[in-house]
Amino acid sequence: MTGPVTPTDLRTRFAAALSTLYGSEVPAYTTLVEVSQEVNADVIAAAGAEAERLGSIERVTAERHGAIRVGTPEELAQVARVFGACGMAPVGFYDLREATPPIPVVSTAFRPTDRAELATNPFRVFTSVLVVDDRRFFDASTEAELREFLGARTLFPAELLDLADRMERYGSLAAEEADRFLALATAAFELSPEPVDRAWYQRLEAISSVAADIGGVASTHINHLTPRVLDIDALYERMEARGIEMIDRIQGPPRTAAGAPDVLLRQTSFRALSEPRRFREPDGTVVDGELRVRFGEVEQRGVALTPQGRAVYDRDGVAGLPDTDDELDAADLAYYVRDDEGRLLPLVYEDFLPRSAAGIFASNLTSEGRSDTTQQASLRGAAWMRDVLGRELHDPYALYAAERSEHGAH
């Protein structure tokens, strides 16, 4: 590319670069992408245009969500700048400390918020930050050690952050600057060859594998990169037929009846194999070892539910919802807009589900870890997250509602 590069181009290229990186690191991911593409081609062949109501085949084929985990508010604010350069804004607040088993993180998702941007490339990244001062997990001395360890590392080089800020300020980067941004940003999420301090890692792992994955290593990495599929049940069967053992269930709503609209988000995953990592032993020697922290995940997306629709879903599951677009729209249970002929078009659910996210985290743990519920939780909420990010933290419902009213529906 030669001309100036826009945030949209950067996002598309960043998602593709991470996909290439992750495929080289986790070969089963490549299988997952291949099988997803087969399933999508089959669904389109069988259902035609109807199958593209929830996104064009181009969008769905390129569509990925990533998951990353950082250690400090400063690191989170830096992530916001890197994704901000790619036209991705923080949306939603998720408190995984309330999950079973509890995970010592709070999270948001960076994604495009504009419908046209989502249609071009909806790359989104579920981003979690460790809560080091939550006494249910970390005593005062572990907190102090975590702060010191995390405070001493640099995840994102200054040059990358400068380029990110330039992109946010001017709305474009020169071709060479964009290439440099992509090289640095992709490298920041690569698995590091740096030896892991075994004793420190194991101490954290006894509390929480996620804490060890975040605070036990001096760099970060993508935890998973998730393709989107149009029929997750078909995908599940084909992966098992290829000998890849999936977790025992599909998270989120069950399959809806034939012809009924898909709602929200369905996800499933498999654990990646152990990956070679180097360890530093307490006596200073460095040895080869293995860690098993990453995995493959796949998702199927449906229509976004309104707060009322979500309340029904949370109480009664999909069985509580009507099974046509017309009824969902008329009862204001799901978000739709109308096309030129007045037909209903679903607004795709672009976010995450806390219960499924908890299940995804849990399927990835070496043990439940330990927490002491008699201890004091530390206060973390959307307001805290917004202050740390130093930018607006979008409410997902407000985004869907604005989109709908812009198109004159409801």
Q: How far is the CB of 105 from Ni ion (least distance, A)?
A: 13
Q: How far is the CB of 22 from Ni ion (least distance, A)?
A: 12
Q: Are 265 and 94 in contact (CB under 8 A)?
A: no
- The reply to whether 67 sits near ligand OOG by the rule CB under 6 A is yes
Nearer to ligand OOG, 299 or 403 (CB): 299
Number of Cβ within 10 Å of residue 44's Cβ equals 16
Site track 52-71 with Ni ion (rule: CB under 5 A), x = hit: ---------------x----
- The reply to whether 72 sits near ligand OOG by the rule CB under 6 A is no
**DSSP tag of 157:** -
Q: Are 146 and 71 in contact (CB under 8 A)?
A: yes
Q: How far is the CB of 37 from Ni ion (least distance, A)?
A: 19
- The reply to whether 109 sits near Ni ion by the rule CB under 5 A is no
Q: SS3 sequence, 209-272?
A: HHHHHHHCCCCCCCCEEEEECCCHHHHHHHHHHCCCCCCCCCECCCCCCCCCCCECEEEEEEEC
Q: How far is the CB of 128 from ligand OOG (least distance, A)?
A: 5
Q: Are 282 and 323 in contact (CB under 8 A)?
A: no
Q: How far is the CB of 337 from ligand OOG (least distance, A)?
A: 26
Between CA 253 and CA 267 the distance in angstroms is: 9
Q: Are 180 and 157 in contact (CB under 8 A)?
A: no
- The reply to whether 356 sits near ligand OOG by the rule CB under 6 A is yes
Nearer to ligand OOG, 252 or 261 (CB): 252
# chain residues binding ligand OOG, by CB under 6 A = 13
Q: Which among ligand OOG, Ni ion, none contacts residue 371 (Cβ within 5 to 8 A by kind)?
A: none
- The reply to whether 36 sits near ligand OOG by the rule CB under 6 A is no
Nearer to ligand OOG, 348 or 357 (CB): 357
Nearer to Ni ion, 13 or 224 (CB): 224
- Could you tell me how many helices (H) and strands (E) the chain has, helices first? 16, 12
The H-or-E segment that residue 91 falls in is strand 89-95
Interacting residues toward ligand OOG by CB under 6 A: 67, 69, 126, 128, 223, 267, 297, 352, 356-357, 360-361, 364
Interacting residues toward Ni ion by CB under 5 A: 67, 226, 297
